[in-house]
Amino acid sequence: MDRALEAEAKAVLRAARARLEELAEEELAWTPTPAMPERRMAAAPNAQPLALADIRTLEQVRSQLGECTRCPLHQGRTKIVFGDGNANAEIMFVGEGPGEQEDLSGLPFVGRAGELLTRMIENGLQIPRASVYIANVVKCRPPNNRTPLPNEVATCREFLDGQIDAIKPKVIVALGKPATSLLLGRDVSITRVRGSWHDYRGYPVMPTFHPAFLLRQYTQENRRLVWEDLKAALERSKA
The yes or no reply on residue 80 touching ligand SF4 (CB under 6 A) is yes
Give kind and range of the element (H or E) at residue 5: helix 3-29
CA 230 to CA 205: how far, in whole Å? Answer: 11
The yes or no reply on residue 156 touching ligand SF4 (CB under 6 A) is yes
Q: Any residues with CB less than 8 A from the CB of 76 and at least 6 apart, and which? A: 140, 141, 142, 143
Q: Which stretch binds ligand SF4 (CB under 6 A): 69-77, 111-119, 190-198, 224-232?
A: 69-77
As measured in angstroms, the least distance from the Cβ of 42 to ligand SF4 is 15
Order of all β-strands in the sheet with 84-85: 84-85, 133-136, 91-95, 171-175, 203-208, 198-200
The yes or no reply on residue 141 touching ligand SF4 (CB under 6 A) is no
**Pick from 43, 54, 125: nearest CA to 89:** 125
CA 147 to CA 136: how far, in whole Å? Answer: 12
As measured in angstroms, the least distance from the Cβ of 121 to ligand SF4 is 25
The yes or no reply on residue 81 touching ligand SF4 (CB under 6 A) is no
Given 70, 177, 194, 210, the residue binding ligand SF4 (CB under 6 A) = 70
The yes or no reply on residue 58 touching ligand SF4 (CB under 6 A) is no
Give kind and range of the element (H or E) at residue 207: strand 203-208
Q: Which stretch binds ligand SF4 (CB under 6 A): 56-64, 84-92, 149-157, 177-185?
A: 149-157
Q: Which of residues 195-234 bind ligand SF4 (CB under 6 A)?
A: none
The yes or no reply on residue 135 touching ligand SF4 (CB under 6 A) is no
**Pick from 205, 167, 198: nearest CA to 84:** 167
As measured in angstroms, the least distance from the Cβ of 73 to ligand SF4 is 4
CA 198 to CA 232: how far, in whole Å? Answer: 13
Comparing CB distances to ligand SF4, the nearer of 29 and 135 is: 135
Site residues, ligand SF4 (CB under 6 A): 65, 68-71, 73-74, 80, 138-140, 152, 155-156
